[in-house]
Amino acid sequence: MFYDHLSFVNYRATRASDPEWTYSPASVSERFNVVVIGAGQAGLSVSHELTELGVEHVVLERGRVGQSWRDRWDSFCLVTPNWTVRLPGGAYDGNDPDGYMPRDDIVRHLERYGRSFDAPVREGVDVTRLERASDGSFLLQTNHGEMRATAVVLTTGAYQKPHRPAAVGALPRGLPVIDAEDYRNPEELRPGKVLIIGSGQTGCQIAEELHEAGRDVYLACGRASWLPRRLEGRDIVAWLAETPFFEGTLANLPSPLARFTANVQNTGHGGGHDLHYRTLQAMGVRLLGHFAAVDDERAVFATDLADSVAFGDARHAEIRETIAKSCAAQGRRAPNFPPVPAFEADPPGTIPLNDVGTVIVTSGFRPDYRSWTDFPDAFDDLGFPIHSDGASTVVPGLFFCGVHYLRKRKSSLFLGVGEDAAIVAGAVAARLSAPASG
């Protein structure tokens, strides 16, 4: 047994009596069999599976359980239905399976899930550096001192650092520019028009919320697919779950860069409804091409809005065909898709920035493992782990879970993270039980 048993028991007893308590280790250096970094859906799922296998471990979380969900904006809710929450031993069991959990309910579900198997989570422990120790174990530098581990599982997600297009750096210094993770609600923004850069799910949802709050909104658009929220009374996710869509692997993508393509435009807000370029344009949001430059206090946009819409329409047609083929293979009728309306694209090429109160960048995230781990060769040119079924093929003993397309399209989703967690936990257990080499 590698960890300090007394300090661990004291942690569990104190945490049970005071949920706001944050762990502080009794010693400068502790040693563990396994450290899981991150207590979101991936970290908790791995913890559940390790617990089932009898593998002693600890889960370190920089904030609180479900911190990445706590950091979302006030009105955030799931875009996939509640029934897709299928964590191992922690599936959704509420009375609204076809609804979309709001932010705080997501956090409560994760908290209950962790309590259900007494997950060994230490909140408020920020891992600032991960490297090899002289004895071959892993050395973790944290805000609570050093820790060592035989194996480490990174479940911090693949998208850890907000991505900003290069042109954002040219915006006037006095103009507030925030990332999506810093947006909370319309009332916190300065008066004036709002420019949103990025048009995936997040950009579209924030644009809709701001428009409904009476703000004038510009949306700089890129390539994103879209689908109707429901077909013949069933959520589009239910139709997709009956196809190979969520089972798709990295090999099915046209290139590794396709991992950065925006998620399907849709929303679960207000009970769920269609949300895409056409609905936003109809409600009065000003659509633009992608943000390209700043010239003499004016934001400049590319002339590619029509191309971006055409891209989404092409993906819409491909997914429609996927559903039709799956229905045919199952001997049932395919659903009727509503006709795709015509789209009029005549956006301005520039807008004045002097009447823009805030710019919100929702251009997605990028992996950031290299900034805090000492294993640069463990990640590819895009920053993603080099691995086999979640086990690093470069750094023995290092594992990953919750990464977008780790194994499949669903790998980072509530719908599929449990499948990967079981595989990763099994590999960790096998490594711990293998005879030492040499």
Q: How many domains does the chain have?
A: 2
DSSP assignment of 390-416 equals TEESSSTTEEE-S-TTSSSGGGGSTTT
- Is residue 184 domain-shared with residue 322, that is, in the same domain? yes
CB 374 within 8 A of CB 131: yes
Q: Which pLDDT score, from 0 to 100, does residue 160 have?
A: 73
Q: Which pLDDT score, from 0 to 100, does residue 157 have?
A: 76
- Is residue 361 domain-shared with residue 375, that is, in the same domain? no
Residue 380 and residue 384: Cα distance in Å, rounded?
5
- Is residue 17 domain-shared with residue 154, that is, in the same domain? yes
Of the three residues 324, 341, 365, the one that is the final residue of a domain is 365
Q: Which pLDDT score, from 0 to 100, does residue 1 have?
A: 30
Residue in this structure with the two tokens 């640069």, named with its chain if needed: 376
Task: Record the tokens describing residue 290, joined without a space.
Answer: 């992608």
Q: Is residue 438 part of a domain?
A: no
Which is nearest to 204 in space by CA: 276, 121, 124, 311? 276
- Is residue 59 domain-shared with residue 140, that is, in the same domain? yes
Q: Is residue 134 part of a domain?
A: yes
Of the three residues 337, 365, 393, the one that is the final residue of a domain is 365
Task: Record the tokens describing residue 419, joined without a space.
Answer: 């499948």
Q: Which pLDDT score, from 0 to 100, does residue 123 have?
A: 98
What's the CATH code of the domain at 178?
3.50.50.60
Of the three residues 341, 365, 389, the one that is the final residue of a domain is 365
- Per-10-residue mean pLDDT of the chain, 438 residues long, equals 32 41 53 97 98 98 96 97 98 97 98 98 98 96 97 85 92 96 97 96 97 98 96 98 96 89 93 98 97 96 97 97 97 96 94 97 91 96 96 98 95 97 98 76
- Is residue 156 domain-shared with residue 179, that is, in the same domain? no
- Is residue 58 domain-shared with residue 144, that is, in the same domain? yes
Which is nearest to 202 in space by CA: 295, 126, 130, 265? 265
- Is residue 224 domain-shared with residue 341, that is, in the same domain? yes
Q: Is residue 87 part of a domain?
A: yes
- Is residue 358 domain-shared with residue 373, that is, in the same domain? no
Q: Is residue 216 part of a domain?
A: yes
- Is residue 195 domain-shared with residue 304, that is, in the same domain? yes
- Is residue 151 domain-shared with residue 220, that is, in the same domain? no
**What residue numbers bound the domain in which 64 lies?**
5-160+367-433
DSSP state of 436: P
- Is residue 343 domain-shared with residue 392, that is, in the same domain? no
Q: Is residue 41 part of a domain?
A: yes
Residue type, 254: P
Q: Is residue 107 part of a domain?
A: yes
Q: Is residue 100 part of a domain?
A: yes
- Is residue 322 domain-shared with residue 388, that is, in the same domain? no
Q: Which pLDDT score, from 0 to 100, does residue 162 have?
A: 86
Integer CA distances (angstroms), 167 to 172, 219, 262, 292, 304, in order:
11, 15, 19, 6, 16
CB 427 within 8 A of CB 391: yes
CB 405 within 8 A of CB 420: no
DSSP assignment of 326-340 equals HHHHTTSPPPPPPPP
Q: Is residue 192 part of a domain?
A: yes
Residue type, 344: E
